[in-house]
Amino acid sequence: MNLENHPCFNVKSHRTHGRVHLPVAPRCNIQCKFCNRKFDCVNESRPGVTSGILTPHQAMAYLAEVFAVKQNISVVGIAGPGDPFANPSETLETLELVKKTYPDVMLCVATNGLNILPYLDDLVRLQVSHVTVTVNAVDAEISSRIYSWVRYNRRVLRAEAGAKVLLENQMAAIQGLKERGIIVKINSIIIPGINDDHMEAIAKQMSDMDIDILNCVPYYPNQGSSFEHMEEPSKELVENIRTKAGKYVKQMHHCTRCRADAVGLLGEAPDRSLMNKLQVFEKMVTNGSSLEPALDRTRVAVASMEGVLVNQHLGEASQLLIYGKNDGRIMLEEARKMPPKGGGDQRWQKVAEILSDCQVLLVSGVGEKPRQSLNQSGIDVYQIEGLIDDALQGAFEGSDLRHMIRRDRAQCGVGCSGTGGGCG
C-alpha cells in the first residue's frame, strides 16, 4: 500500500490512480443550507448525489464489479450521500468487509466531523489511512449562518448552539485523528458573503493543528437548497482565497466535487454501466454470504395502535397493518400477526418472512438489530410519527419521508409497555 497514491491527497497521483465511493451512508446529522441531497440523480456530479444506496454486502458485490472494470483503483472511500458517522454501523461494517477482502487497498472516509470521535480507534483498527473533514468555519457565529440545524445526542440544535457543538466536535476529531497518525484533509466550502472573508482564518487554525492539506471548494448552487439563489464564486475569488490560505497550509487545486458513488479518476465522466450495476445490486437481498434478486415488493407495513397514526414500537406490536395500491388507490388489505415475543434474532427473521412482499415498514420505534435484519432482507424501515395516510402517500410515491422522522428515537421500555430488557 503506497499512501502517496491517494488521488485526492496527492496531485501527482490523480491522473493515474482512481477511487471508488461506496454509497452506504444515506442519513445525515446536520442540514447545510447549501445542500440538497438527490439520491437518484445520475446527471449531476457533486457531493450528496448517488444513483443508489447500498447495504454493506451489496457494496461488496458492487465493488467486485468495479475492480473488474477499473484496474486503477487505489482507494475505497465512504462519502455519503449523508455522513458516514450518522450511519456508523453501515460504515464500519463496510470498511471491515473491504479490509478483509482487499487488504492492500487504502481506506478513506469523508465526514462533517460531528460524530466521528467515538469511532477514532475503530478507524485505526481498520487501518483507515485518510480522512476528510468538512470545516466551513472556525467561528460559531459564522457557522450558524451555514447550517439550519445540527442533530447531536438525539437533540436538534439550531443557530449558534448547534454551530458551537459542531465546531467543538470537529476540532476534537481533527486533533484525535492527527494523534493517531491518520492523514487529514480539510474541505472548506467558499460561500460568497458568508465565509469568503473567513477562509484565511480557517487555514491558519488548520495549520496550527498540523492538518495535511486544505481544499477550498467553491460553492455550487443547488436547486432546492436554502442558498439556491447564491451565485458560484468567481475563479478570481477562489484563486485569491487559495493564495492567501496557501501561506499557512498546502492547498488542493484539483478537486472535482465527487459524487457519493464516484468511480475512477478524478474528473472522469461517470461510468453509466457501473451506475446501472449499482442499481442492480441495490435491488438484491442478502442470502447467507451471497446476493439474490429481491422479491417483487408492492406493499407497505405499518405499526399502529388504532389504525390512524404511526405510533407503535415494532417490538410492542402484536400485528402489522398491510397496505397495497389498487387502481391508484391506497387501501388497507389485511392485518398480519407478529411472531410471539422472545427468540432474539430468529424473531426478526420471521418478521422479514411475514413482510416478504413489503418494500417499507413504518414504525414509531425500532431497535438496531431488527432494523439491520429487516434491511438485509430488503425492507426499508422508517421510524416516523404522524398520520398513516400522509406516510403511505410518501412511501408509495417514493418521496422524502424525512419531515416525519422521529427526532427523539424511541427505545424499548420508554414510551411503550416494554420492560426495557430488549425487544425480542
Interval 4-21: pLDDT, tens:
889 889 888 888 899 999
Number of domains present in the structure of the chain: 2
Q: Which of 282, 312, 330 is the last residue of a domain?
A: 282
What's the CA gap between 197 and 193, in Å, rounded? 8
Q: Going along 243-377, which residue ranges are E strands?
A: 263-264, 284-287, 290-293, 299-302, 309-310, 319-326, 329-337, 358-363
Question: Are 64 and 141 part of one and the same domain?
Answer: yes
Domain containing 112 equals: 3-282
Residue 276: predicted pLDDT: 86
pLDDT of residue 405 exceeding 90:
no
Residues 304, 271: one domain? Answer: no
Would residue 420 count as lying in a domain?
no
Q: Is residue 415 part of a domain?
A: no
Instruction: Give the integer Cα–Cα distance in Å for 146 and 363.
Output: 32
Instruction: Provide φ and ψ at 88, rounded to 5°.
Output: -65, -40
Assess if residue 256 is contained within a domain. yes
Residue 293 lies in a domain: no
CA 415 to chain centroid, in Å, comes to: 28
Based on the number of CB atoms within 10 Å of its own CB, is 38 exposed (0-12), middle (13-18) or buried (19 or more)?
middle
**Same domain (yes/no): 334, 223:** no
Other beta carbons within 10 angstroms of residue 369's beta carbon come to: 15
Q: What pLDDT, in 10s, does the model give residues 156-188?
A: 899 999 999 999 999 999 999 999 999 999 999
Do 149 and 217 reside in the same domain of the chain?
Answer: yes
Strands (E), 135-182: 147-152, 155-158
Asked if residue 133 belongs to a domain, the reply is: yes
277 and 309, same structural domain? no
Last residue of a domain, one of 223, 250, 282: 282
Contact between residue 27 and residue 55 where contact means Cβ atoms under 8 Å apart: no
If asked whether residues 149 and 60 sit together in one domain, one would say yes
Kindly state the average pLDDT of the residues 25-52. 72
Domain-located, residue 249: yes
**Which segment, 297-306, 311-320, 365-374, 379-388, is predicted with the most confidence on average?**
311-320
The tens digit of pLDDT for each residue in 49-79 reads 788 888 899 999 999 999 999 989 999 999 9
Q: What is the mean pLDDT of the segment spanning 373-380?
A: 83
CATH classification at residue 327? 3.30.420.130
Distance CA 78, CA 50 (A): 12
Q: Are residues 259 and 338 in the same domain?
A: no
Q: Is residue 411 part of a domain?
A: no
149: phi then psi, degrees, rounded to nearest 5: -160, 160
Q: 81: cis peptide before it, omega within 30°?
A: yes
Q: Say if residue 247 is in the same domain as residue 328.
A: no
Residues 259 and 175 in one domain: yes
Distances (CA, A) of 119 to 106, 109, 159, 168, 177: 18, 12, 26, 16, 10
Residues 260 and 370 in one domain: no
Residues 185 and 317 in one domain: no
Share of the chain above pLDDT 70, in %: 88
Write out the three cell numbers for 176: 484525535
**Residues 212 and 350 grouped into a single domain:** no
Whichever domain contains 260, its CATH number is: 3.20.20.70
Q: Is residue 422 part of a domain?
A: no
From 282, 311, 335, give the residue that closes a domain: 282
Is there a contact between 80 and 112 (Cβ–Cβ < 8 Å)?
no
CA 256 to centroid of chain Cα atoms: 20
Q: What number is the average pLDDT over the span 285-305?
A: 71
Measured CA to CA, the distance from residue 301 to residue 351 in angstroms comes to 11
